[in-house]
Chains A and B, each alone.
Chain A
Amino acid sequence: MTDTPTRIEVDCATGEQKVIPLTAAEIAELDQMRAKAEEERAAREAEEQAKAAAKAAAEAKLAALGLTAEEIAALSK
């Protein structure tokens, strides 16, 4: 069994501080946001991987055409 997540709420008017367990709705919302964040992270990583793969493929093709590593590097600057 995991502990219920909590938040700290400070009432700046009174100075009162409360540690409040998240409600079921807040936990559900949190879970939803976590899932969304995971999706976005996976999408970002996939995009970066695709870009890296395309770059490597392009460099390989240029090398096959006879360009040196220095010449290929100069193209990407």
Chain B
Amino acid sequence: MAITYDALSTVVVGSGGVTSIDFTSIPQTYTDLLIMLSSRTDGSGNFNVQLNNTTSGYSQVRLGGTGSGTYSNTSTGQSGNSGNSFLAGISGGSSNTSNVFGNAYIYVNNYTSSNNKTLEADSNQENNSTASYSELFAGVWSNTAAVTSVKLLTYDTGGKFVQYTTATLYGIKKS
């Protein structure tokens, strides 16, 4: 079975940073969506994902490693700058080694279907010290609308994605 990845858009954050990266008018011609993210924020490094600018219907679980221990949590919606959305992962943050970015993938399954949508993400902080976080995320968005936009936000109060943060949205077609 052929599986194709089409890079739909790439964003590179400019000087001064931004509070969010919004992919809009997503073509409805693919099976799944994938976002590859290389990012650093000016806060903790946590980032959120919001679909269709909707602030409800988010349930999730996260598993993480800290470098000295592990953690997990389950929640229905997460706050932070995005209001209710997925707290989907971790990236580089202000307390990390200078100029080090984290990387993540965020996968949206069957984004055009009329069923609820499931997502998964794998992210890390790439920090060269004892405290270096890795996270796995799985979530369900209880909403039957097709996904037409994806917003990436920082979790932190007043947070921004810093310059050179890069996000690429792929459409994946299974045929």
Contacts and interface: CB of A to CB of B under 8 A. Distances in A.
Interface of A: 3, 5-15, 17, 19, 22, 29-30, 33-34, 36-38, 40
Contact-size category for B? 20 to 34
Is chain A's binding surface mostly helix, strand, loop or mixed?
A: mixed
Contacts, number: 67
Interface of B: 8-9, 11, 13-14, 16, 18-27, 79-83, 155, 157-158, 160, 169
A9 B24 contact: yes
16 contacts: A5-B160, A6-B18, A8-B22, A9-B22, A10-B11, A10-B169, A12-B26, A12-B27, A13-B27, A19-B18, A22-B19, A30-B19, A30-B81, A36-B79, A36-B83, A37-B81
Given A7-B22, A19-B18, A37-B80, 6 more contacts: A8-B11, A8-B22, A10-B23, A12-B24, A13-B25, A34-B157
Contacts of B18: 5-8, 19
Which of A6, A19, A22, A36 has its CB near the most chain B CB atoms (within 10 A)? A6
